[in-house]
């Protein structure tokens, strides 16, 4: 199947035909970008404000505690998404991708569709298998599975919805919040136990596991993410079961992981699989990363970088997954220069990944940490820094091209790469695409009170941004 095959419409995405994604509480969704967080206000207050979550016929979240994979695959919500895409319409749950594309980015919709077409999925066949009502006979090829919130970290842009590492700080911080919009953003109603949800949905759930393992012969990719899969027992049990069933050599395993724990057992399991794509969640360097991915320790992360870079088998592909947010967007050039000149990495994020630099995705929620919240004058400073770095990178573009690609990659190919300088300029365009500066009071209150709760110091850690915590003078 040619990657440049004509798609059924300009809004088409392959994922609703081959993929389902879970939330840590057992909710199902079209994909992880369609519901980047599952928290925050929307116009759907009645059912929790959860845009992108697969719903049952009565509009409630289709949770794996009370629903199942098979019925969710062709329920009204999924059928509607497929119908809209075939008609060239934009489902509300998918607007994030379309907005990124408008800002000049390659979105998840675009790269996932291209990836799976290269892998042999025939889009024409998918369309033929789709009935007029949007239901389909196509098989689940790719599942994003998130089993609870167990995690060692409490990242600044996270919440107890996704990390057990946030529970204690949330209990101390939330009662202090006075800004009503911020309070609504940070709500954790009934400790996440709404509409049948539970962070233990994967425990004692024989219907799910029976249906899940029945899909294994068709699944080409398993994707594990937060909580933190490397500290969740069932993650290891799934890998062992797939190996035992004889399908590991035909399957890819993909991770977004904090990389804090990488036991020998896991590295041995990986050797059985066709490919392992490990996206290492690192957002900056030194104290800045420790602040954003609290309470990680940079020296330990460096050791894990080395372990991944030098001790994993040849079928393991390592990339840096940088979550671009209001705290790190100014410092991305520093992160890139560290990676290219100081890190000593040989296997991690080499060409073509990130054009030899870093891979990125945006933090959409919480809104007060989205890059769109930043004042225009600060985004101007970011742009100036980016342009200065881009000129340096153009002169040193081969730093991210490994020896086995030397002579095979031209400067023109590098310059045209989607995740290189195009991506950097796209970040600035995205930051300017909407004005969310009305949320700066939330930004200031959140970081000031979080510092008091944790004993951290935003002003000292991000000195170029310190003035953003100051209340603006009255005009």
Q: How many CB atoms lie within 10 A of CB 141?
A: 18
If you count them, how many residues does the chain have?
475
Which residues on adjacent β-strands are paired with residue 360? 322
pLDDT of residue 41 exceeding 80, the answer is no
Nearest Cα to Cα of residue 373 among 422, 435, 311, 329 = 435
Q: Residues 256, 265: contact at Cβ < 8 Å?
A: no
Residue 429 has pLDDT above 60, yes or no: yes
Task: Say if CB 265 and CB 314 are below 8 A apart.
Answer: no
In whole angstroms, what is the distance from residue 37 CA to residue 42 CA? 12
Tell me if residue 318 falls in helix, strand or coil. Answer: strand
Q: What Cα–Cα distance (Å) separates residue 156 from each residue in 10, 328, 451?
A: 36, 11, 10
pLDDT digits (tens, 9 = 90+) for 148-194: 999 999 999 999 999 999 999 999 999 999 999 999 999 997 676 66
pLDDT for residue 45: 43
- The counts of H helices and E strands in the chain are 19, 8
Give 174: exposed, middle or buried? Use CB within 10 Å, 0-12, 13-18, 19+. middle
> Per mean pLDDT, which range of 183-197, 401-415, 458-472 is the poorest?
183-197
| pLDDT tens string 56-79 | 767 777 788 888 888 889 988 899
- pTM value > 0.85: yes
Flag the least confident range among 86-90, 190-194, 342-346, 387-391: 190-194
Indicate the DSSP class of residue 401. S
Amino acid 53: pLDDT = 77
Sequence-distant (6+) residues with CB within 8 A of 6 are none
Q: How does residue 430 score in pLDDT terms, banded at 50, 70 and 90?
A: very high
Q: Worst-scoring range by mean pLDDT, 88-102, 306-320, 430-444, 455-469?
A: 88-102
Query: Do residues 109 and 48 make contact, with C-beta atoms less than 8 angstroms apart?
Result: no
3-state secondary structure of 223: strand
Rounded Cα distance between 323 and 364, Å, is 10
Model confidence band, residue 13 (pLDDT cutoffs 50, 70, 90) = very high
Q: What local confidence, expressed as pLDDT, does residue 226 receive?
A: 79
203-262 pLDDT, tens digit each:
989 999 999 999 999 999 999 997 999 999 999 999 999 999 999 999 999 999 999 999
CA distance 291 to 297: 9
Query: What pLDDT score does 4 carry?
Result: 56
Percent of the chain with pLDDT over 90: 78
- The confidence score (pLDDT) of residue 46 equals 41
Spatial separation of the C-alpha atoms in residues 298 and 386, rounded to whole Å: 24
Ramachandran quadrant class, 458 (left: phi over 0; alpha: psi -120 to 50; beta: rest): alpha
Coil, strand or helix at 426: helix
**pLDDT band at residue 44 using 50, 70 and 90 as cut-offs:** very low
- For 370-401, write each residue's pLDDT tens digit: 999 999 999 999 999 999 999 999 999 999 99
Least confident of 38-47, 99-108, 216-225, 453-462: 38-47
The per-residue pLDDT of the chain, averaged, comes to 91
Task: Give the residue with greater pLDDT, 289 vs 63.
Answer: 289
**pLDDT at residue 37 above 70?**
no
pLDDT value of position 320: 98
Q: How confident is the model at residue 35 (pLDDT cuts 50, 70, 90)?
A: low
> Sign of dihedral through CA atoms 187, 190, 195, 196?
positive
The rounded distance, in Å, linking the Cα atoms of 447 and 374 is 14
Q: Where are the alpha helices (DSSP H) in 119-199?
A: 123-128, 167-173, 180-185
> Phi, psi (5° rounding) for residue 172?
-85, -30
pLDDT value, residue 50:
56
Q: For 423-430, what is the mean pLDDT?
A: 95
């Amino acid at each position: 199947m040619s990657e440049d095959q004509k798609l059924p419409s300009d809004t088409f995405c392959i994922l609703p035909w081959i993929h389902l994604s879970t939330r840590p509480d057992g909710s199902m969704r079209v994909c992880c970008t369609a519901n980047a967080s599952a928290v925050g206000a929307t116009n759907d207050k009645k059912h929790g404000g959860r845009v992108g979550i697969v719903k049952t016929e009565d509009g409630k979240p289709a949770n794996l505690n009370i629903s199942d994979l098979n019925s969710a695959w062709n329920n009204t919500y999924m059928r509607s998404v497929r119908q809209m895409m075939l008609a060239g319409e934009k489902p509300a749950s998918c607007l994030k991708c379309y907005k990124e594309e408008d800002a000049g980015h390659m979105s998840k919709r675009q790269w996932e569709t291209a990836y799976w077409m290269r892998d042999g999925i025939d889009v024409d066949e998918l369309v033929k298998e789709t009935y007029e009502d949007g239901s389909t006979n196509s098989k689940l090829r790719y599942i994003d599975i998130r089993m609870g919130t167990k995690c060692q970290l409490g990242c600044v842009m996270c919440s107890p919805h996704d990390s057990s590492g946030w529970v204690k700080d949330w209990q101390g911080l939330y009662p202090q919040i006075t800004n009503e919009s911020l309070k609504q953003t940070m709500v954790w109603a009934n400790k996440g136990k709404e509409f049948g949800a539970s962070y233990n949905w994967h425990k004692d759930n024989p219907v799910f596991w029976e249906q899940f393992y029945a899909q294994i012969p068709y699944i080409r990719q398993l994707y594990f993410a937060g909580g933190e899969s490397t500290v969740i027992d069932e993650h290891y049990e799934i890998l062992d079961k797939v190996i035992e069933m004889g399908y590991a050599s035909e399957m890819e395993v993909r991770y977004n992981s904090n990389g804090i724990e990488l036991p020998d057992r896991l590295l041995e399991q990986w050797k059985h699989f066709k490919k392992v794509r490990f996206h290492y969640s690192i957002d900056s360097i030194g104290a800045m990363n420790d602040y954003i991915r609290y309470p990680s320790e940079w020296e330990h992360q460096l050791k894990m970088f080395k372990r991944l870079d030098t001790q994993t088998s040849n079928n393991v592909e390592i990339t840096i997954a940088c979550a671009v947010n209001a705290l790190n967007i100014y410092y991305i050039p520093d992160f890139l220069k560290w990676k290219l000149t100081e890190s000593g990495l040989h296997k991690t994020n080499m060409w073509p990944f990130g054009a030899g630099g870093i891979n990125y995705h945006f933090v959409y929620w919480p809104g007060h940490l989205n890059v769109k919240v930043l004042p225009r004058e600060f985004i101007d400073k970011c742009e100036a820094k980016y342009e200065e770095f881009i000129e340096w990178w153009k002169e040193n573009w081969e730093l991210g091209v490994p020896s086995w690609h030397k002579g095979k990659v031209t400067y023109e190919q590098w310059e045209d790469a989607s995740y290189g300088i195009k991506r950097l300029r796209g970040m600035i365009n995205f930051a300017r695409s909407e004005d969310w500066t009305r949320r700066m009071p939330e930004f200031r209150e959140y970081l000031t009170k979080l510092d008091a709760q944790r004993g951290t110091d935003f002003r000292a850690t991000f000195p170029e941004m310190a003035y953003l915590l100051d209340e603006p003078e009255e005009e």
